[in-house]
Amino acid sequence: MVNLQNNLNDMSNNKLIVVAGAAGTQGGAVVDALLAKGIAVRAIVRNKNTDAAKALAARNVDVVEASFDDVESLTEAVRGGTGIFSMQMGSHPGNKGEESQHAKNLVTAAKSAGVEQIVHTSVARAGDHKNFVGWNEGKWEPTYWEEKVAAIDIVKEAGFSYWTIIKPPLIMENLLPSKSATLFPTIAQGKLFSALQPETILDWISPQNIGQFAAEAFVQPEKFNKKEFAIVGDKLTLPEIAETLSSVIGRKFEVKTITQEEATELGFHELSHQSFSWMNAEGYKVDQQEAAEFGIETESLKTYLERNKSILLAEYSE
């Protein structure tokens, strides 16, 4: 048993994982999980002088600046890495083509630098979009889904020795301030107003779980090789989410289904409202057994909110 542990430690000590988006939610969670396993980390950031970048450097993370529009700077950033965590910002009509181009640039850089493993994070249901109700009739804005699929294809077809695609649904951090203002702009007033129907089930995953899956893929590349899977920690309706929030911070949250007109009057973003409408019609529908083979236990929304109770109380208490 001791020899096995020593072998695992030697494997970890020989790795250098380059994390794209290391200052963000998912990338930051991956950094945490890798460091917890004693794996060396290099973080790609746009600006080394931000507080987030300095915090990473203070944890013995090698912080390098690079632009995702510049393959040369990315190649220098990933040189010497044994693996790379890939993620890009989601696309919308205003930046169509950017996500897939950034994925292509990162992959090109990684291949040029001789990186052998890539773990890419996307979104649940990516690749299944043509089966959505009303897709052929133009019911849903296509850019987001088509760009996700294009990025996945770029990763899978690049010729890496090891690749893994992780597909999270809604990330639990979106219920914390200030990110919650995007999904539920009225949450600080104790109001969960949205287009969601009371019976619509939302799939959630914690950032920490995303980090765990990614880190484990780097530690066990053979086990995770050529695997594409969705992950989920909890499946709840909005009334159940409101009840969970109430149980954690002791404040009652009002749930209301609103129309597009009401959403506009309240200042909700149009794409956010459409996203909830999509969840009513389709949703992420993650099978809780889809990633069971990897043996990683995912946490419930209540557990996640309890861990972040002080943050919730600071913003949402009456």
Specify the CATH number for the domain of residue 120: 3.40.50.720
Q: Please give the Cα distance from 46 to 56 (Å, whole number).
A: 13
DSSP state of 90: P
* Mean pLDDT computed over 104-124: 97
User: Of 66-70, 77-81, 255-259, 262-266, which range is least confident?
Assistant: 262-266
* Mean pLDDT computed over 193-214: 97
> Where are any strands of DSSP class E within the chain?
16-20, 40-45, 62-65, 83-86, 117-121, 162-167, 170-171, 191-194, 201-205, 227-230, 234-237, 254-257
What are the pLDDT digits (tens) for 154-190? Answer: 999 999 999 999 999 999 999 999 888 888 989 999 9
pLDDT on residue 1: 43
Does pLDDT of 11 surpass 80?
no
What phi, psi does 290 have (nearest 5°)?
-60, -35
State the residue range of the domain holding 100: 2-316
**Residue 72, Cβ neighbours under 10 Å: how many?**
12
What are the pLDDT digits (tens) for 202-212? Answer: 999 999 999 99
pLDDT on residue 10: 45
Does pLDDT of 107 surpass 50?
yes
Q: How many domains does the chain have?
A: 1
* Mean pLDDT computed over 289-314: 97
Q: 237 pairs with which residues across the strands?
A: 201
pTM, two decimals, is 0.93
Contact between residue 241 and residue 137 where contact means Cβ atoms under 8 Å apart? no
Q: How confident is the model at residue 277 (pLDDT cuts 50, 70, 90)?
A: very high
pLDDT on residue 12: 54
